[in-house]
Copies of this chain bind each other. A is one copy, B any other.
Amino acid sequence: MTDDDRAGRRAAIMAAAAGCFAADGFHTTSMADIIRASGLSAGAVYSYFRSKEELITAVAGLPLANAEAVFAALPADDAAPSPAEAVAALVQGVVARAADDPALGVDITRLAVQVWGEALRNPEVRGRVSAVYRTLRDHCTEVARRWQAAGNLPPEARPDEVGAAMLGLAQGFLLQRLLLDEATAEGYIAGATAVLAH
């Protein structure tokens, strides 16, 4: 079995687990659920992941990596989007990733919410979440900084604080889309834009 084969199988197990975790949370899905979803046997799964906790940690990384990709695309090259445009891009990024990722077959935003809860009790997950979220905020901060440099933000405003608010708007949309059925990207973007427009 080649390394690629092994990596592919590992990814398939993670995808199966991600589906279970997104539907039922980390601690109510049983290993039997994951084993069934993966189509493999217990022994096979346990030869790729030493324990359920290792699987949780690995799967928890998926929405974090995804978010990092969306946010990293924000301050593209030397463009200077407005905060409103940036938040719009983030919200659309959330929606795009929420449509079940074909490589994963999961609404990864549901997984993100489970990761938030897990971060409150699992120090390893907590550490990775705060590291990633700090960089997400920094990407937003960079947008605010450029916007300020272009003279569109009062000089006394602090870009890092504006960045935190932008991140908050994106996180709030992720949540509202999942918990308030009628929350739409367009409406939220319009509201955020009205609120961000000067």
Contact = CB atoms under 8 A, between A and B. Distances in A.
A194 B114 contact: no
A180 B162 CA distance: 15
B134 A194 contact: no
Interface stretch (A6-14, A41-49, A95-103, A171-179): A171-179
A172 B166 CA distance: 9
A163 to B, nearest CB: 7
Nearest to A166: B195
Interface residues of A, number: 57
A54 to B, nearest CB: 16
With a 10 A CB-CB cut-off, give which of A118, A121, A161, A197 has the most chain B CB atoms.
A161
A173 B180 CA distance: 18
Interface residues of A, dominant DSSP: helix
With a 10 A CB-CB cut-off, give which of A23, A114, A119, A194 has the most chain B CB atoms.
A194
A31 interface: no
Interface stretch (A32-40, A72-80, A152-160): A152-160
A197 B27 CA distance: 43
A23 B158 CA distance: 34
Given A169-B172, A171-B171, A172-B169, A133 B163 contact: no
22 contacts: A23-B121, A25-B118, A27-B28, A116-B175, A134-B180, A137-B176, A153-B194, A154-B197, A161-B191, A161-B194, A162-B195, A163-B191, A164-B176, A164-B183, A165-B172, A168-B169, A168-B171, A168-B192, A170-B172, A171-B172, A171-B176, A197-B198
Interface of A: 22-25, 27-28, 83, 110, 113-114, 116-121, 126, 129-130, 133-134, 137, 153-154, 157-158, 160-173, 175-176, 178-181, 183, 187-188, 190-192, 194-198
